[in-house]
Amino acid sequence: MFISSAFAQTAPAAGGDMQSSLMGMLPLVLMFVVLYFVMIRPQMKKAKEHKNMVEALAKGDEVVTAGGLLGKVTKLTEGFLTVEISTGVEVQLQRSAVVQVLPKGTIK
């Protein structure tokens, strides 16, 4: 009389419990897949392109640095490069500070 009907029901079968736990994991798996294709993969692609650009730098290339300086590459070493930003003014930078390689003749 005071016992609810929930206590009177039998326990569900073991196979149904495993299926519900897999269905509970499905949203997490889907969120990870979406995150991978929306955020992680494009960042990895951009980093790879930047690495290839920095490795392909050559003497005479016109570049833009992360600080916004425009200049022409005059010397290259393994980790650093020297950029001439004005006639007779050269600065030494890390290779990774180069953000963009400009087309030849951009800087006058």
45 and 67 co-located in one domain: no
pLDDT value of residue 6: 57
CATH number for the domain spanning 77: value is: 2.30.30
Low-confidence ranges of the chain (pLDDT < 50): none
* DSSP per-residue codes, 39-62: IIHHHHHHHHHHHHHHHT--TT-E
19 and 36 co-located in one domain: yes
Inter-residue contact 72 to 62 (CB < 8 Å) = yes
**Rounded distance, CA 46 to CA 101, Å?**
15
pLDDT value of residue 4: 62
pLDDT value of residue 68: 94
- Does an H or E element contain 16, and which? helix 14-35
Buried b (16+ CB within 10 A) or exposed e, 15-38: eeeeeeeeeeeeeeeeeeeeeeee
Domain interval for residue 40: 14-53
Residue type, 60: G
49 lies in a domain? Answer: yes
pLDDT value of residue 34: 94
pLDDT value of residue 14: 53
| Domains held by the chain: number | 2
pLDDT value of residue 9: 58
pLDDT value of residue 35: 93
- Closest to 98 measured CA to CA, from 45, 62, 46, 60: 62
